[in-house]
Structures are given as C-alpha cells and as structure tokens.
C-alpha cells in the first residue's frame, strides 16, 4: 500500500495532517484528516470568574479572538440572566461586523486568492500572496490593507484593543462611543460596502468568468449533500451575532431551529480513535458514518451553510447578491463546497451594510450600554456565528460566578466530518492508478479543506513560523520514496 501525507505543520495555528492511503492498484483506499488538538482549555478556566471568560477565551485562537470574546460575553450574560440594553447589543454587533469584514477579506485575498486569482495548478513560486498582489495589482492590494486597517480600528474603538477586545462584560460593555467615533465608524463602513461590492465584481470577473474555474467549482469533485447550519433572526434571515440556530436538510427543508440553551438536545459528538478532535453530528438524525444524505447526521456550518440555512439576508445589496447566487446556481440549497468562497464575499457585503446600519442608528451613542446584573449566576450558553462556523460557549458557575465546568464547540469542529469527507472525495477523484502525484494535484486536494476556512488556532507564535504543507509519499513497505515541500529553500 502506498501512503501519501499532506502535513500542514504550523506553529501559528495548531497542527493538522492529511493522510492518503492508496491500495495496491494505485487508487485511494482511505483518507484521514488528523488534528492533534490543543487540549485542556476547558479545565484551565475552572476556578476563574465568569466575567474573565471573554478575555481568556480570545487567547485560544489567534485567528478569531473577537468571536470567542462575543460567545463568552453572551454566555456570561446568560449565566447572570441579564438582558443587555439595545445600545450594548448594537455596539457588540457593530464591532463584530467590522471583524467579519476584516476576516472574510483576508480569507478571500490571502488564502483563496492564490487558488483562484493565480490558479490552482499555477507554479508554487507564484501561487501565494505575492502572486496575488502581482496579478491583481498594487492598488487592489492596498485596498485589502485598508480594509483590514478599518476593521482593526473599529474593533479598537469599541473593544478597547485591536484584535483582542476587552470591553464586553456581563450585561453589556464597559464603554460606549462618542459622536466623533460614530461618524468615523460610519465613514469606514461606507468604504467597506464599496470594497465588498468591488470584491464581488472581482470574483465575478476572475472566477465565474473563467470556464475552467466554473467547471471546477460546479463539478462533482467538491460536492456533498449534507445538512446545513446557521444562525437566523426572527425572520429567518442570517445573523452573525444573535438569534436561533437553524438546521436545514439536503433538500433545504428546516429540520430544527433551536435556542442556544437547547444545543445539547440537538448536537452530540462522536470520538474516533485516530484523532483528538471530536465529530459533532445531529442527535436527532444520528451518526451513520462519513456519508452524505438525509439519513446521515453530518452537518456543515460555513458561510455557504449559513446562506443555505437562512431565507435570505437582512440588507438590500447583500440580498440582491444572495438572489443572484442562487438563481445562477439553480436554487437552494447549493451543495458545491467551493461556492463557499462566493458565499463568503456575499457575507462580507452583508457585514459591511450591517456595519453602516448600526453606525447610523440614533441610539448607538446612547450611554445606556450596560445593565447591572442582579440575578444569582448559575449556567449559561452563548452562541455566535464565527466566520468559519457556529461557535458555542457553555459555562456552569457556583453562586459566586466562579466557573465550575465549561464546554466549547468551536466553528471548525462543526465541519470536521464534512471536511474529512471532502478530502476523501477530492483525493479519490483526482488520484487514480498511474496518476503522477504532483504539487498541483495535491493543492487541489488541499483546496477541498481550504474552502471551509478551517481553523485549529492556538494563538501560539513562537518562531519560526513554518510552511503549511509537507507531502510525504511512502511505498507499500512504508518507506519514504518522495518528500515534497511547498516552501522555497
């Protein structure tokens, strides 16, 4: 048996490894996506005050600290049974929209960009962030940096710090914003809307206008029929900050819509002996293995899943793009995983529009951004949509508000089973007897999991940062016959 290993080792964001086992005929026998996850965080927080969770959990991950900050803050609100005043909720959501716009921008231009802007089988030396800048031009590269700067600025103005906000406390926030802040935030949001529209046009021109890419996106290699999850408001429109979690089936029909505190009735987890990370699945459907279909409890929680699970978006321009996407692709739900990149850009536009909506609300500068908790703390669940999936924080405390137990289901964990299935299908479709396994081909396998924007973050930053991809090919005796690395020595 031949063994191929894709090992995206990185100290920046946890470790992961793709292993592809070939049979004697040279076809794919099996694939494994292994994650030696950082463990112990849920024990580490025991004995600490619940109000610290919004500060501590945003150090779990260097990629989406704002999402952990919000989920933990909402869980702390629930622990104290305190209703955050409208201004407090809006300020948190405003911060969150700026974070979303920043995060989705980075993903499209720095991560998906090399695949679609430069090309999936372009030479390794060009398929990178510098190649993207070369292809799209310095002006657009500058806009990406500007978008990130604006996003960080809003997070700092409302959250007190860039990247790792610190102002959310049980009942709201520690500070509000001035009219001067508001105006600046509004102006940046209006710029973000234009940037999002520009990005969608670029996607339309570069990706959808290229038949090869379109065939790749719509082909069977990257297609799966599973359940889809996403948070929605009272009108079943996508909401990143608040609402109920809605799950629809492969046929698009609603299976369930649950409040945060009902998540244990709907989600459970499966353990496999070959990986540390658990596989969440839909309790009411049950685990049938890594398979598609309405009988399989495998669900997906991504930008595309959120759009599939919702009836639309609550802002006009984003709704227009939402309608365009589904009419172009023949209706809902869409099962082709690479369409997630398109969905992500539509979400970018929604986030920017919602950013301006919130920044222009007459109550956003109100001093009524915090309610003092008066109830005895007990237990609470907070859920937000992290950019890469539904994020659930659940804490139990004693009567002093000291954490006695914690449970976290992070965004990417939701997608562990579908990511594994996507890798298997891509590898099985692309690697056949006699196939020369080169870097371009392995990149197309890697694209299967990259569409999910997976994050196994641990926010550790020791030097040196290493490359994400190492390919090791073993012969049937297990000996290494070839090693391929993505970096330039």
Burial class of residue 240 (count of CB atoms within 10 Å of its CB; 0-12, 13-18, 19+):
buried
In whole angstroms, the minimum distance from the beta carbon of 13 to other proteins comes to 4
Q: Binding of other proteins at residue 465 (CB under 8 A)?
A: yes
Q: Figure out which of the listed residues 56, 218, 291, 371 binds other proteins, where binding follows CB under 8 A.
A: 56
In whole angstroms, the minimum distance from the beta carbon of 65 to other proteins comes to 8
Asked if residue 97 lies in contact with residue 192, where contact means CB atoms within 8 angstroms, the answer is no
Between 240 and 369, whose beta carbon lies closer to other proteins? 240
Which DSSP string corresponds to 238-264?
Answer: B-SSSSEEEEE-TTS-EEEEE-GGGHH
Residues 110-139 that bind other proteins (CB under 8 A): 110-111, 114, 124-125, 128-131, 133, 138
Q: For residue 246, what are the CA distances in angstroms to 146, 168, 190, 394?
A: 34, 26, 30, 18
Q: Figure out which of the listed residues 232, 352, 421, 455 binds other proteins, where binding follows CB under 8 A.
A: 455
Between 70 and 255, whose beta carbon lies closer to other proteins? 70
Looking at 105-113, 195-203, 204-212, 361-369, which segment touches other proteins (CB under 8 A)? Answer: 105-113
Here the tokens at position 333 are: 């739900």
Looking at 162-170, 339-347, 362-370, 435-443, which segment touches other proteins (CB under 8 A)? Answer: 162-170
Q: Binding of other proteins at residue 486 (CB under 8 A)?
A: yes
Instruction: Report the alpha-carbon distance of residue 269 to residue 246 in Å, rounded.
Output: 18
Q: Binding of other proteins at residue 458 (CB under 8 A)?
A: yes
Q: Binding of other proteins at residue 38 (CB under 8 A)?
A: yes
Q: Figure out which of the listed residues 7, 13, 66, 347 binds other proteins, where binding follows CB under 8 A.
A: 13
Looking at 32-40, 165-173, 416-424, 437-445, which segment touches other proteins (CB under 8 A)? Answer: 32-40
Angle 86-106/340-359 helices, nearest 10 degrees?
Answer: 140
Instruction: Report the alpha-carbon distance of residue 133 to residue 298 in Å, rounded.
Output: 38
Burial class of residue 50 (count of CB atoms within 10 Å of its CB; 0-12, 13-18, 19+):
buried
Backbone angles phi, psi at 320, to 5 degrees: -60, -45
Q: Figure out which of the listed residues 24, 47, 149, 264 binds other proteins, where binding follows CB under 8 A.
A: 149
Q: For residue 137, what are the CA distances in angstroms to 144, 273, 355?
A: 11, 47, 27
Looking at 40-48, 236-244, 355-363, 417-425, which segment touches other proteins (CB under 8 A)? Answer: 40-48
Between 90 and 112, whose beta carbon lies closer to other proteins? 112
Asked if residue 81 lies in contact with residue 375, where contact means CB atoms within 8 angstroms, the answer is yes
Asked if residue 384 lies in contact with residue 95, where contact means CB atoms within 8 angstroms, the answer is no
Query: Looking at the chain, how many residues does it have?
Result: 489
Between 44 and 198, whose beta carbon lies closer to other proteins? 44
Q: Figure out which of the listed residues 27, 49, 52, 59 binds other proteins, where binding follows CB under 8 A.
A: 59
Q: Figure out which of the listed residues 2, 106, 239, 308 binds other proteins, where binding follows CB under 8 A.
A: 106
Q: CA quadruple 41, 43, 44, 47: dihedral positive or negative?
A: positive
Between 291 and 459, whose beta carbon lies closer to other proteins? 459
Burial class of residue 421 (count of CB atoms within 10 Å of its CB; 0-12, 13-18, 19+):
buried
SS3 159: helix
Q: Binding of other proteins at residue 46 (CB under 8 A)?
A: no
Between 62 and 189, whose beta carbon lies closer to other proteins? 62
Instruction: Report the alpha-carbon distance of residue 257 to residue 285 in Å, rounded.
Output: 14
Residues in the site for other proteins, rule: CB under 8 A?
8, 10-13, 38-41, 44, 56, 59, 62-63, 65, 103, 106-107, 110-111, 114, 124-125, 128-131, 133, 138, 141-142, 145, 148-149, 152, 162-164, 450, 453-455, 457-469, 486-488
């Amino acid at each position: 048996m031949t063994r191929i290993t894709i090992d995206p080792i990185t100290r920046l964001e946890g470790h992961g490894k793709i292993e592809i086992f070939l049979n004697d005929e040279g076809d794919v026998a099996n694939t494994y996506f292994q994650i030696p996850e950082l463990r112990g965080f849920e024990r580490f927080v025991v004995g600490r005050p619940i109000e610290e969770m919004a500060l501590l959990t945003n150090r779990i991950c260097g990629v989406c600290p704002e999402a952990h900050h919000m989920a933990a803050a909402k869980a702390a609100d629930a622990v104290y049974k305190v209703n955050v005043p409208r201004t407090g909720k809006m300020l948190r959501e405003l911060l969150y929209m700026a974070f979303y716009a920043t995060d989705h921008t980075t993903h499209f231009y720095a991560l998906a960009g090399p695949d679609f802007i430069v090309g999936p089988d372009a030479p390794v030396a060009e398929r990178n962030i510098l190649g993207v800048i070369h292809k799209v031009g310095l002006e657009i590269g500058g806009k990406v940096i500007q978008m990130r700067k604006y996003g960080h600025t809003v997070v700092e103005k409302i959250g007190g710090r860039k990247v790792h906000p610190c102002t959310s406390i049980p009942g709201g926030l520690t500070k509000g914003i001035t009219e001067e802040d508001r105006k600046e935030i509004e102006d940046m949001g209006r710029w973000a809307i234009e940037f999002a529209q520009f990005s969608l046009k670029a996607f339309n021109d570069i990706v959808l206008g290229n038949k090869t890419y379109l065939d790749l996106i719509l082909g069977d290699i990257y297609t799966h029929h599973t359940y889809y999850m996403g948070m929605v408001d009272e009108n079943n429109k996508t909401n990143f900050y608040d609402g109920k979690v809605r799950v629809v089936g492969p046929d698009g029909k609603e299976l369930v819509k649950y409040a945060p505190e009902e998540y244990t009735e709907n989600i459970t987890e499966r353990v496999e002996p070959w990986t540390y990370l658990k596989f969440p699945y839909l309790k009411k459907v049950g685990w049938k293995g890594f398979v598609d279909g309405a009988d399989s409890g495998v669900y997906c929680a991504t930008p595309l899943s959120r759009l599939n699970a919702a009836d639309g978006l609550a802002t006009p321009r984003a709704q227009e793009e939402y309608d365009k996407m589904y009419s172009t692709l023949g209706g809902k739900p869409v099962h082709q995983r690479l369409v997630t990149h398109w969905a992500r850009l539509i979400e970018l536009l929604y986030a920017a529009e919602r950013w301006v909506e919130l920044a222009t609300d007459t109550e956003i500068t109100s001093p009524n951004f915090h309610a003092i908790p008066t109830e005895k703390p007990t237990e609470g669940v907070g859920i937000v949509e992290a950019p890469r999936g539904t994020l659930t924080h659940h804490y139990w405390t004693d009567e002093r508000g000291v954490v006695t137990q914690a449970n976290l289901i992070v965004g990417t964990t939701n997608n562990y089973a579908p990511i594994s299935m996507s890798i298997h299908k891509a590898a099985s479709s692309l690697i056949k007897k006699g196939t020369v396994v080169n870097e371009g081909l392995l990149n197309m396998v890697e694209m299967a999991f990259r569409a999910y924007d997976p994050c196994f973050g641990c926010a550790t930053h020791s030097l040196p940062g290493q490359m994400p991809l190492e390919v090791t090919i073993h012969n049937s005796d297990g000996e290494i016959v070839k090693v391929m690395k993505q970096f330039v020595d």
